[in-house]
């Protein structure tokens, strides 16, 4: 299923429940942040190794938290008429400019600390 089909399923889901009135961009952004926090909470206090070796139960919980984040993001994109696929492609291109391979490879420095002439976004 593609993103447009998922967005349509979300529209139908919200319409069936008369939730569209609640799904304002502000409310959706706040719900998205809340769900991202719930996802983050699942990793809190785990070591790097533990976060890469999740139990089946942890993996399932995290999978559904990730889905919640995605669904709210898709709903927000629908409300704001944002083509997320195109936006992601554009953002990757912008990031490629901000993080040129010769400066960014092998380190986690922010673009403005790389020492080259990179633009900001």
The closest alpha carbon to 102, from 84, 114, 119, 89, belongs to: 114
Whether the CA torsion 76, 79, 85, 90 is positive or negative: it is negative
DSSP state at residue 111? G
Confidence of residue 78 (pLDDT cuts 50, 70, 90): very high
**CATH architecture for segment(s) 3-82:** Orthogonal Bundle (1.10)
Confidence of residue 109 (pLDDT cuts 50, 70, 90): confident
Q: What is the pLDDT of residue 121?
A: 56
Q: Mean pLDDT for the chain?
A: 93
For 113, other C-beta atoms within 10 Å of its C-beta total: 10
Lowest mean pLDDT among 73-77, 85-89, 92-96, 113-117: 113-117
For 71, other C-beta atoms within 10 Å of its C-beta total: 19
For 78, other C-beta atoms within 10 Å of its C-beta total: 20
Q: What is the pLDDT of residue 116?
A: 60
CA 31 vs. chain centroid, Å, equals: 13
Q: What is the mean pLDDT of residues 88-114?
A: 91
- Domain range list for the chain: 3-82, 83-121
Per DSSP, which regions of 30-121 are E strands?
Answer: none
Q: What is the mean pLDDT of residues 16-29?
A: 97
Q: What is the pLDDT of residue 117?
A: 53
The better pLDDT of the pair 56, 120 is held by: 56
Q: What is the pLDDT of residue 114?
A: 86
């Amino acid at each position: 299923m593609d993103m447009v089909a998922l967005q349509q399923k979300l529209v139908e889901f919200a319409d069936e429940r008369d939730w569209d009135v609640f799904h304002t961009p502000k409310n959706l952004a706040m719900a998205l942040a809340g769900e991202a926090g719930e996802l983050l909470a699942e990793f809190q206090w785990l070591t790097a190794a533990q976060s890469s070796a999740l139990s089946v139960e942890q993996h399932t919980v995290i999978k559904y938290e990730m889905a919640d984040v995605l669904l709210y993001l898709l709903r927000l994109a629908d409300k704001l008429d944002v083509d997320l696929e195109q936006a992601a492609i554009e953002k990757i291109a912008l990031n490629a400019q901000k993080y040129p391979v010769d400066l960014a490879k092998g380190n986690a420095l922010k673009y403005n600390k790389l020492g080259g002439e990179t633009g900001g976004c």
